[in-house]
Chains A and B, each alone.
Chain A
């Protein structure tokens, strides 16, 4: 089956530093990937849609200069949280839509970010 991985699975960083999270589709090509954020006891909130070879589309209220997204290949998208602050601490989840299959998304296991 289609597998999506994320790296790292968890990260602790100091306030003011930047953190990069990778999302990879392991056995399929993904033209489109999505990035979500989930706070404790809340639902997933879509942050942005990442399309290979083009700029990401951000949801309203998400700062594109703070959450940099790069989808450089059909199997890799990265999310960089720049100048992280404690309020950025959250569970970040990516998903990938397999090229040619429009109705299913495969989710990664998530990355737990803690900013101290």
Chain B
């Protein structure tokens, strides 16, 4: 599996944007970039995914570098409920239903 590298932790003030970086320099051409987050004592929650183009949904935006070796998850206005561990994961095709390998992730603290 291609590996991802994320900072162990980040802090943000409430109501401010947060940019969570992820490096994936060994990404292959067919790898999708996924982001999940895990709130304390809960299962992970899907946030967003993309392949080459930037993506937006109601939860966040995903900015993917032109060379695809890095990406950034953008939370436009952090709230206290966004405090979680954020995982950046690569899933490849083909292969059907992909097993997902979780790294350490980035623990986001939101300061009121």
Contacts and interface: CB of A to CB of B under 8 A. Distances in A.
A48 to B, nearest CB: 9
A44 B102 CA distance: 6
Given A102-B96, A110-B43, A46 B101 contact: yes
Interface in A34-59: 34, 36, 43-46, 49
- Grouping DSSP codes into helix (H, G, I), strand (E, B) and loop, the A interface class, with mixed when no group exceeds half, is strand
Contacts of B34: 103
Nearest to B85: A43
Contacts of A95: 43-44, 100
Chain A interface bracket (under 10, 10 to 19, 20 to 34, 35 or more): 20 to 34
Contact of B41 (A44, A102, A106, A110): A110
A67 interface: no
Interface string B82-102: 000001000101001111111
Chain B interface bracket (under 10, 10 to 19, 20 to 34, 35 or more): 20 to 34
B91 A103 contact: yes
B85 to A, nearest CB: 8
Interface in B70-112: 87, 91, 93, 96-105
Among A31, A36, A49, A107, max chain B CB count under 10 A is at A107
B45 to A, nearest CB: 7
A24 to B, nearest CB: 13
Given A43-B104, A102-B97, A105-B46, 20 more contacts: A6-B43, A43-B87, A43-B103, A43-B105, A44-B44, A46-B100, A46-B102, A49-B99, A93-B43, A93-B44, A94-B43, A102-B93, A102-B98, A103-B91, A104-B49, A107-B36, A107-B44, A107-B45, A108-B43, A109-B43
